[in-house]
A and B are shown apart, each in its own frame.
Chain A
Amino acid sequence: MKRSKSVRLVAMGTGLLLVAACEEAKVDTALFESVKQCTTLGFSAQECEANYREAQANHVNVAPKYSKREDCEVDFGAEKCEVAPQRTASGGSVFMPLMAGYLMGSMLSGGRRGAGQPLYKSANDRSTFRTGDNKAVAKSTGRTQVARSTTQTASAKTRTVSRGGFGAGARSPMRRSFGG
């Protein structure tokens, strides 16, 4: 036979490729604001402390960074920012929001996924916990289900300084495809 045995598409036409977050699988986890909330729910103090420490360590890396405390407080609220251990290129202070909570993942879902994901609350929406890259996670603490992507530690962010430098070749009215 000279043809494929089957032709299976998993995502095309479902919209999954463009708006992945809408249809995403949920995972079981728990969300805490403190180690105490964690132990109250029946986890061992050792587990809870380990997770909290992990979240704190991740927090330093993934929290949004600002060179002015005012800018941070505009996004996260008055008194809701702290000094980050990092320094700016010229040696100035760096500010980041306080960790408002954290996701515990590893004990509930088996693997290491999402262990100690730090969470934040923005100034204009104090009821929602969000990841460092601003994905809404949940509104309450305790055992919960969250979208899988929100349990993954935020990927390395960079700072885009310019866009639109590709595509000049496509500014021709004559083509229906730019491939061919």
Chain B
Amino acid sequence: MERITVEPRDDWRDTAEAHGFRFHTIDNEVYWDESACYRFTLREIEDDLEDPSAEIEQMCFQVVERALADDAVMARLGIPETFWDFVADSWSQQHRNLYGRMDFAYDGKGPAKLFEYNADTPTSLYESGVFQWVWLEQAIERGLIPEDSDQFNSLHEALTGTFGRMGISGMLHLACCKESEEDEGTVEYLADCARQGGVETRLIYIEDIGIDTRGGFTDLQDEPITHLFKLYPWEWIMTDEFGKNVPTSNTRFIEPGWKSILSNKGLLPLLWEMFEGHPNLLPAFFDGDAGAASLGGDYVRKPLFSREGANVEIFQDGERTISIAGDYGTEGHIIQALHPLPDFAGNFPMIGSWLVASQPCGIGIREDTSLVTGNNARFVPHIISD
């Protein structure tokens, strides 16, 4: 694995716009960054990222089983008791999941270490599956990267294929929050994939969803929402006013309710407890647990529900050296052994490993100049070239 400098395509902004990629620059900061790329060998991709992702997914399923069998675990994860049956039913009835992104620290030398699993509402999907692919094709064509370059990226094929097999009859509604161009881009992209998979789609803002006289969810045309992809975290749904209608609504959710167990940072101590010593896991504990002391003074403290690095704190030699602002944390914390992201000339890449229908199918790399990958991170493409 190495980070190599690449000449950006002179027309990449126009190409991005032409492909419907509107959020390539966010708040005047470059988000899509093709001035560099990461090169992996095929062995690194397959042995160190693809296989571990598949294995961890299976381990995660065991965590779901364990949580559903133990109310104390469900409580520890901060899942409201009124949702326990709903979550359990979504699992026992095998409600299908669409996608997730495992975030790894990896430097090509040791095993990839799982930082966290965004199993519920991962973004950076479009740029991973489509724009990164387009970059590879054009960069080869223009001689900017080796001719034999490949990419670990069958994300788009996996998504279009999976939608057709999810058993969606009738209309699929896709919802995101208002005022996020990035989230709108993500649901538009997924809607496109769903249509290619033969599924009829309609977009709606999460704030516009209604309730009818029987407690079912409705869209702006007053039609019932039978299948809902929601780019909106389960923990918010569960505490929102309409949350109480979810278990009786007859709406099938994507991601399914059982993903609320996995998108929770509490997954990390549960995985460690069940698979202690696994090469791809970092020691992790619920804050305040006896085992936490074994981490000494070097650890990371994360709220159970934090996203984009919010409220993450890094401690070194017992001193807090990095603290990210945010409004999470009242739900409880976990602590995880400190394993700094590798340093490639002052850039710290986080490798997002994509799973579609639980099968690994690609990676997307976000790079920050800080050890905590926050929302200033840039998306940097990758190649496979031995």
Q: How far is the CA of A3 from the CA of B121 in the complex (A)?
A: 23
Nearest chain A CB to B139's CB is how many angstroms away? 13
CA distance A175 to B231 in the complex (A): 14
CB B23 to nearest CB in A, in angstroms, measures 9
Report yes or no: A164 in contact with B207, Cβ–Cβ below 8 A. yes
A161 touches B211 (CB 8 A): yes
Q: How far is the CA of A180 from the CA of B223 in the complex (A)?
A: 30
Binds B, one of A9-17, A30-38, A116-124: A9-17
A178 vs B235: C-alpha distance when bound (angstroms): 12
| Known contacts A159-B212, A160-B212; A166 and B222 CB within 8 A of each other | no
Q: Is the CB of B203 within 8 A of A165?
A: no
Q: Are A179 and B222 in contact (CB under 8 A)?
A: no
**A155 CB within 8 Å of chain B:** yes
Q: How far is the CB of A162 from chain B (nearest CB, A)?
A: 5
With known contacts A17-B201, A155-B223, A3–B375 Cβ distance under 8 A: no
**B120 vs chain A, min Cβ distance (A):** 8
Contact check, A17 vs B221: say whether CB atoms are below 8 A apart.
Answer: no
Interface size class of B (residues with CB under 8 A): 35 or more
Identify which of A9, A157, A180 contacts B123 (C-beta below 8 A): A180
Q: What is the distance, in angstroms, from A152's C-beta to the closest C-beta of chain B?
A: 10
Contact of B310 with A11 in the complex, beta carbons under 8 Å: no
Given A2-B384, A17-B191, A178-B180, the answer on whether A166 and B150 have CB atoms closer than 8 Å is: no
Tell whether, in the assembled complex, residue B206 and residue A11 are in contact, meaning their CB atoms are under 8 Å apart.
no
| Chain A stretch 129-180: residues in CB contact (< 8 A) with chain B | 133, 155-170, 172, 174-180
Contact A169 B232 (CB under 8 A): yes
- Report B207-241 residues with CB < 8 Å from chain A CB: 207-214, 216, 218, 221-224, 231-233, 235-237, 239-241
Contact mask for chain B residues 361-374; partner A; CB cutoff 8 A; 1 contact, 0 none: 01000000000000
CA distance A174 to B311 in the complex (A): 11
Contact with B along A1-25 (1 / 0, CB 8 A): 1111101111111100110000000
* Contact across chains for A179 and B183 when beta carbons are under 8 A apart: yes
- Give every chain A residue within 8 A of B189 (Cβ-Cβ): 9, 12
Known contacts A167-B177, A167-B207, A174-B326, A3 near B221 by CB under 8 Å: no
Contact A157 B150 (CB under 8 A): no
B196 touches A4 (CB 8 A): no
Q: Is the interface of A mostly helix, strand, loop or mixed?
A: loop
Chain B residues near A176 (CB, 8 Å)? Answer: 26-27, 180, 182, 308, 375
Instruction: Please tell me which stretch of B61-69, B129-137, B273-281, B289-297 contacts chain A, meaning at least 4 of its Cβ atoms lie within 8 angstroms of it.
Output: B129-137
Partner of A180, one of B122, B209, B241, B327: B122
**B113 adjacent to chain A (CB < 8 Å):** no
Known: A166-B206, A166-B240. A179 touches B123 (CB 8 A): yes
Name the residue on B nearest A1 (C-beta): B150
Chain A: residues with Cβ within 8 Å of the partner, total of: 40
B224 touches A156 (CB 8 A): yes
In the complex, A11 Cα to B195 Cα: how many Å? 9
Given A7-B129, A178-B176, A160:B218 Cβ within 8 A: yes
Question: Are the CB atoms of A167 and B152 closer together than 8 Å?
Answer: no
Given known A-B contacts A10-B192, A162-B210, A176-B27, A2 and B308 have beta carbons under 8 A apart: no
CB distance from A135 to the nearest CB of B (A): 10
What 1/0 flags go to B165-195 for Cβ under 8 Å of A?
0000001000111101011001011011001
Contact stretch, chosen from B74-82, B153-161, B312-320, B336-344 = B153-161
Once the chains bind, are B133 and A158 in contact (CB under 8 Å)?
Answer: no
Given A159-B213, A169-B236, is A8 in contact with B196 using a C-beta cutoff of 8 Å? yes
- A168 and B327 CA atoms in complex are apart in Å by 13
Is B43 among interface residues, defined by CB-CB distance under 8 A?
no
Q: How far is the CB of A41 from chain B (nearest CB, A)?
A: 32
The one of A3, A8, A159, A164 in contact with B154, judged by C-beta atoms closer than 8 angstroms, is A3
Which residues of A line the B interface, CB within 8 A? 1-5, 7-14, 17-18, 133, 155-170, 172, 174-180
Q: List 6 A-B contacts (CB under 8 A).
A: A7-B134, A17-B192, A156-B224, A159-B213, A165-B241, A166-B232
7 A-B pairs with least C-beta separation: A13-B20, A169-B236, A165-B242, A180-B307, A160-B210, A167-B207, A165-B241
